[in-house]
Structure 1
């Protein structure tokens, strides 16, 4: 199992337990692809960098190889090829491998394309190249004829204010000579704007090819029964098949029955008639990304989603647990002042949660590890912040929604800082622009005071019931980056992830009341020394424009001193920036 932030894991008992096998070897914990050699299962290849281009995606750092079933690993190249979202090992010669390299998810680069090695990774050749902005996202070998190769090419890129998915170049390509030459498949497939696509082949019928494609016009499911010479439209009306295509878009065909096909998006879809109709099947978690089916027994499968990996031995009617894989992605962590102290964290695709790690939660064996955690307010992206003096009260955030939670009663009250939903609106149309990671700061001088941020700094003195705005717009706010809703040129994705020009970090000096520092996700660093009455922009001239102020740390000794960190990777700049001031 390859995870988006926890490396590679292995099970030897059908998912009852999992063990990490990549720690200490990999330079990146985000895994985009993994394949085990059919002819020698001790040989494993793993490509880093997920092709699900969320706004917090980690950049890939090459492909790794193990020759001892995951006991040890070696970097074998493609370090600058970015997201390696798919790879295929030759069925009889494990030295021949194809890799789909999407490239840098945040900017143009020449390393995009389909790569091939014929010497086990000692050297690589780029065998298919479209452009410096369109890369490979899927590669498949035709069963029984491994010299026939199919590849999906995609223009996919992230910006802090939008996600780009699609262009007039890209689509599905085919090679019949082991990757030496390629031809784009166009007969029956969309030929306008083409977005992300995925190819499925099956040993049950090597002539049958399924293609799931984002496109305008014509996004949906296509099928070929002549190895790609022509395609027919199967389904362009089932909306769930093409949902947030930059994040999903995956299809798998049953190796024993060519009419059985699965699609993973927010739901998990199954068709038994070649894609003409669909049913949804339950999985342990939503947001479904990949599926492996045993080539000799279709009832045995491994399915992956935002919660982890789960194994079924009865065709998906039941699944193993995901609570044996400590691979959760945490947005931030807070510690309170109690003894024993509590640890608070916002977890991707799950609730905010807290635990008491300084003492055992019980002297008995837990039936399930989740029993050691408690639910906290807000949603997956947080923040989650404890009250400074009352350990019963916890504050949580969720895209402009502020919550107050009582551990004693288990009750949560939620208030919108501004009465406007972020969903479906362009930045220019919002009264308040909130980022999905809502910053929350409790005052070190008055525990009743809590701050949060849109493009303005907001303050409450009654735990979120009412709010006052205590600043002007503290962001850069270039108008050309607020003109339209996120998502282009095919699919809109207005979920509150890409709102640009919003506050991302807020801290009040522990030394002097009313000295408050703020940082925006488009660059400006500001300070007030009089509790919000007046403000100064103190961004260093040498700071690159448009980058995100990630964290602020006021000095515990001097009111005039503060440190802050800036991330520019979303603009293609991977250098670290840390600044300090000693004079406000």
Structure 2
């Protein structure tokens, strides 16, 4: 059992026997299957038996157990069906079931509970202090009566979509232009549509009221404006025999239309009347659900999924929501944000070309964030990552010549051009035309609508709805360059028949490819004048059915390294894989990466870094540049040393560090990559330009690519010897230079020199001004003045750690009888000066 259940709603460990476990198996999302319902194990999970089953569309979503009588359990069953174009949120199979013999027999409960095709997801909570009481929060998908008054949150005198349906042509013509303008902008009508002209065309019958109503189709608004009953809380005090709704009035603006995303409830174990449940807001009741209070506060994200009430101290709550984790120690009066958990659900990524470069990413319900690639959790300032756009972050792109210009979107294609320096933002979503002569159908936008910058011009953008659009002015205006590239099948409550991916050839302008959610691939070689359906080439006999190294799981993204065409990466539902041979074979890149869906992969062109958007564990980064050189020729060698990234050097390192405040220390690490064909013992020697050995390292290599991290620490004896050799060589050089200057001086003395007029004396101040200011590279030269060295000496130098100073070093890697070498550059720090606090061109605060 449980090999094909796919989704689990609840795991419940028996109160008496930890080897007895009950599981609410929800089943497949997109297809019906029989492995769903309630499963039970009595041997700690070695074997499972299904103990409750309704049908192959109805799964179990929640469980509750009577702690005083563990043989008594309650199960919430949920019928739902999902297709690419529709989500059926409810069904007749939904309902509550009870067993009094540990799952051997079950009875469906009624006694006042809603029944029928509109019963959706159900959540359960049972207070241990009164186990005969049980709460159920139900997503009721029943449509509200049309006569029921609706709170539109709009002042009188303003025009809304609902009010528009009741407006006559004459009444529309009498509307104030400002009212019409606000209506047009609020509902994202074309910018070219002006109030006065629209009123004239409506009055003349060229544009009808129904045309305006039809234009208002919007998937995002539908989530909030579809009028269903929504959240309801029911209670029983007799073990499920009879039920009553706890509240008289509707619980508006809690579930909206998508209660399937929530429907969890919690109860105080010591107080059966104190309950908590969440939807978009978080609610609590102290009187058994008769009255409710919202307890979300600043710093508490919306969309709440689970509340844990500490049974040992019920005033302590843990809250899981779309923003992460919050804690309360006073029953929700105040909250603390636990902000150090890497649980961001990233969907998309873009990288700029700054130094260091920045990462821009769209997240599920946490907008679009931007932060430096050098960010280190626990070390860097948390505010270095900041939100630059809202909603469910979607497609992102960065202007290749101006990193302050970012294109960002949120769900269903709501895109904007942002200027991070000026703070300006401009909405740039293409919209269908609406004129007296042309009335286009509403466009369909995918949840993550693609928007890309042309590789040929920073001003050219492409945007995929159900048609492909192009802009020559950074999104200010758009033109459709395709017809509908989908089959426009009947629509449900999920936009379907949309473009999901767009790509333009970097070698030839106008060679474009578009993929759709129907599984079609379209191509044009003339900028959209003509399109060809390329999907016919994907006939069953020509599919690649097996790829070496890739597991049988969904592939979410594929990326080619921009500097190495043979190097490919794919992100799947379980991780990331690399191919060194253009996709013939694949290898998992699993070291340090959890098993997590990877939704986007980007490779930084300059650095070669691999950056991953994981859906649940935030952003991961790997220094993958060595893979660019990992060719068959390299892999045939017994040992190979790859280029090493420069590391910063600092003569002040180790000074000023507090002995007890250690969290702020940020050690510099040189990551030395090398190839070992057979693995085994490997030694590394680091030498300076004089041949002096500063450090010797040893490693046990695995066959393949290895990386050793070196913290630049050196042994004092080696450092002293190397510095002494450097001083000796510097003195020799100084002596040679002095001898050369003396010879030149003697050569200038003679009759001609004697007849020349005496040069104008130069003051010592002028002489100093003429000397070039020492840079970091020259100031790092060995000190040759022994007296000054003694006066400026560090009295504790012998007890301090010593580090590799700025300079160029050779790293020799030896394995067996073979040796390979690479270069390590320890870069000197920039000279401090008056301009240090000023931004360099293109940098953003």
TM score, norm. by length of structure 2: 0.52
Instruction: Find out whether 1:210 has 2:135 as its counterpart.
Output: yes
Could you tell me which of 217, 242, 246 is aligned with 2:260? Answer: 246
Asked whether the 8 Å contact 2:415–2:427 carries over to 1, the reply is: yes
Match of 2:403 among 383, 391, 395: 391
| Deviation larger for 498-507 or 310-319 | 310-319
| Cα pair distance change 1:85/1:226, threshold 3 Å | same
Cα distance in 2 for residues equivalent to 1:260 and 1:568? 40
Does residue 125 of structure 1 match 2:139? no
CA RMSD of aligned residues (A): 3.2
The answer to whether the 8 A contact 1:507-1:553 is kept is no
Corresponding position: 1:151 with 2:75: yes
Q: Are the equivalent residues in 2 in contact too, given 1:234–1:276 (CA < 8 A)? A: yes
Alignment equivalent of 2:497, drawn from 495, 501, 504: 501
Aligned equivalents of 1:518, 1:141: Cα separation in 2: 52
Distance across 1 between alignment mates of 2:264 and 2:341: 23
Matched, 1:225 2:241: no
2:479 aligned residue (468, 476, 480):
468
Establish whether residue 409 from structure 1 lines up as the match of residue 405 from structure 2: no
What's the counterpart of residue 442 of structure 2?
Answer: 431
2:515 to 483, 494, 519: 519
1:344 to 360, 368, 378: 360
In 2, the alpha carbon distance for the partners of 1:566 and 1:355 equals: 22
1:327 is the counterpart of 2:328: no
8 A contact 1:549–1:564 mirrored in 2: no
- Alignment CA distance shift 1:542-1:564 (3 Å): farther
SS of the equivalent of 1:539 reads: helix
* Pair 1:103–1:249, CA change in 2 (3 A): same
C-alpha distance in structure 1 between counterparts of 2:368 and 2:4, whole Å: 35
Q: 1:261 to 1:568 in 2, by over 3 A?
A: closer
Cα distance between partner residues in 1 of 2:467 and 2:583: 23
Looking at structure 2, the residues matched to 501 and 199 of structure 1 have their Cα atoms a distance apart, in angstroms, of 37
1:248 Cα offset (Å) = 0.5
Q: CA contact under 8 A between 2:366 and 2:390: conserved in structure 1?
A: no
Contact 2:557 2:572 in 1 (8 A): no
Distance (Å, rounded) in 2 between the aligned partners of 1:358 and 1:265: 36
2:93 corresponds to:
169
CA contact (8 A) 1:378 1:403 kept: no
- Per the alignment, residue 237 of structure 1 pairs with 250
1:383 positional shift: 0.7
Higher helix share: 2
Give me the whole-angstrom Cα distance separating, in 1, the residues matched to 2:507 and 2:563. Answer: 7
Question: Are residues 1:372 and 2:390 paired?
Answer: no
Q: Structure 1 stretch 461-470 or stretch 264-273: which is displaced more? A: 461-470
User: Within 1, Cα distance between the matches of 2:10 and 2:555?
Assistant: 33
1:308 aligns with 2:324: yes
Q: Is the 8 A contact 1:285 1:305 kept in 2?
A: yes
Match of 1:289 in 2: 305
Measured at CA, do residues 162 and 292 of structure 1 come closer, stay the same or move farther in structure 2, by a change above 3 Å?
Answer: same
Query: Which residues of structure 2 form unaligned runs of 5+?
Result: 143-228, 434-439, 544-553, 575-581, 585-845
CA–CA distance in structure 2, aligned partners of residues 378 and 304 of structure 1: 20
Alpha-carbon offset, residue 359 of structure 1: 7.1
* Segment drifting more, 89-98 vs 154-163: 154-163
1:82 alignment partner in structure 2: 6
1:271: how far off?
Answer: 0.8
- Pair 1:92 & 2:88 matched: no
Cα shift readout 1:329-348 (whole Å, capped 9, x = no counterpart)? 10111223333222111011
Aligned partners of 2:126, 2:556: CA distance in 1, in Å?
A: 43
* Residues 201, 241 of structure 1: alpha-carbon distance in 2 compared, 3 angstrom cutoff: farther
Structure 2 residue 462 is the aligned partner of structure 1 residue 451 = yes
Report the counterpart of residue 65 of structure 1 in structure 2.
Answer: none
What stretches of structure 1 of length at least 5 have no aligned partner? 1-76, 421-428, 487-497, 570-577
**2: distance between equivalents of 1:452 and 1:242?**
32
Shift of 1:567: 9.9
Deviations 1:52-98 (A, max 9, x none): xxxxxxxxxxxxxxxxxxxxxxxxx6232121111211122111111
Contact 1:387 1:394 in 2 (8 A): yes
State the alpha-carbon separation in 2 of the partners of residues 173 and 445 from structure 1. 62
Q: Which residue of 1 aligns with 2:114?
A: 190
Residue of structure 2 in register with 1:400 after alignment: 413
Q: Is 2:257 the counterpart of 1:261?
A: no
CA–CA distance in 1 between the matches of 2:137 and 2:506? Answer: 54
CA distance in 1: counterparts of 2:511 and 2:283, whole angstroms: 54
Question: Is the 1:148–1:176 contact (alpha carbons within 8 Å) kept by the matching residues of 2?
Answer: yes
In the alignment, is the contact (CA less than 8 A) between 2:121 and 2:259 conserved in 1? yes
Task: State the Cα distance separating 1:263 from its structure 2 match.
Answer: 1.1
What is the CA–CA distance in structure 1 between the aligned matches of 2:245 and 2:458, rounded to whole Å? 61
Distance 2:254 2:23 in 1: 25
Structure 2: how far apart are the matches of 1:348 and 1:396?
13
* Greater CA drift, 319-328 or 178-187: 319-328
Change (3 A) 1:550 1:80: closer
Residue 315 of structure 1 deviates from its aligned partner by 1.3
Distance, in Å, in 2 between the alignment partners of 1:332 and 1:341 is 17
Which of the two has higher C-alpha Rg? Answer: 2
Q: Secondary structure at the match of 2:93?
A: coil
Q: Is the Cα–Cα contact under 8 Å of residues 505 and 552 in structure 1 kept in the other structure?
A: no
Render the CA deviation track for 1:484-507: whole Å, top value 9, x for unaligned.
4x1xxxxxxxxxxx2111111111
* Structure 1 residue aligned with 2:333: 317
Mapped contact 1:522–1:549 kept (Cα < 8 A): no
Asked whether the 8 Å contact 2:556–2:573 carries over to 1, the reply is: no
Shift, 1:549, TM fit? 10
Over 3 Å counting, the alpha-carbon distance change for 1:168 and 1:409 in structure 2 is same
Distance across 1 between alignment mates of 2:376 and 2:278:
38
Conserved in 2, the CA contact under 8 Å of 1:400 and 1:418? no
Q: Name which of structure 1's ranges 316-325 and 176-185 shifts more when overlaid on structure 2.
A: 316-325
Structure number with higher strand proportion? 1
Measure, in 2, the Cα distance between the counterparts of 1:177 and 1:267.
38
Measured after TM superposition, the shift of residue 310 of structure 1 is 2.0
Return the offset for 1:386. Answer: 0.3
